[in-house]
Structure 1
Amino acid sequence: MKRNVGKRDRLFRGLGALVLLACAWAAPLPLAARLAAFGAAGAYLLFTALSGTCLGYALMGRSTCPLSRS
């Protein structure tokens, strides 16, 4: 899949992922609720931050990457 997540977007996704994963670890909820509410979203944001691709952006035809010059 083509990269469609820019550097600044990746940074904020990574920070958001860390916050959500910390909430999944520390929230005073049952484990299943923590994983469903915070863990899944945090894992997806971390994946998109590391890979540079976002399925939602691809489906909408969006990109935050700068245009590459030929």
Structure 2
Amino acid sequence: MKRNVGNVERLFRVLGGLVLITCAVMAPLSLAVRLGTFGVLGAYMLFSALAGSCLGYALMGRSTCPVEPRRG
């Protein structure tokens, strides 16, 4: 997949993902609710930050990456 997430946004996605994973562990809700909401969203945020690519951005044709990758 083509990289479409800039470095600053990747940092915020990592921080947001860690906060959501923490909520999945510590929230006073049932396990199914915690994993189904906070866990899945947190895992996606971390994955998209580490991969540098967001499926939603790809579907919309959007990119926050300032430089297009070189073709070689």
Tell me the TM-score normalised to structure 2 length: 0.92
The Cα offsets for residues 26-67 of structure 1, whole Å up to 9 and x where unpaired, read as 000110010011000000000000000000000000000012
Q: Counterparts of 2:14 and 2:69 in 1: how far apart (Å)?
A: 27
Q: Counterparts of 1:55 and 1:42 in 2: how far apart (Å)?
A: 15
Q: Structure 2: where are the runs of 5+ without partners?
A: none
Paired residue total: 70
Find the counterpart in structure 1 of residue 59 from structure 2. 59
Find the counterpart in structure 2 of residue 32 from structure 1. 32
Q: Counterparts of 2:57 and 2:16 in 1: how far apart (Å)?
A: 17
Which consecutive aligned stretches of 4+ in structure 1 deviate over 2 angstroms post-superposition? 67-70
- Identity, % of aligned positions: 67
**What value does the CA root-mean-square deviation take over the aligned residues?**
1.3
Q: Counterparts of 1:7 and 1:20 in 2: how far apart (Å)?
A: 20
Q: Structure 1: where are the runs of 5+ without partners?
A: none
Q: CA deviation at 1:69?
A: 7.7
Tell me the TM-score normalised to structure 1 length: 0.95
Q: Counterparts of 2:52 and 2:68 in 1: how far apart (Å)?
A: 15
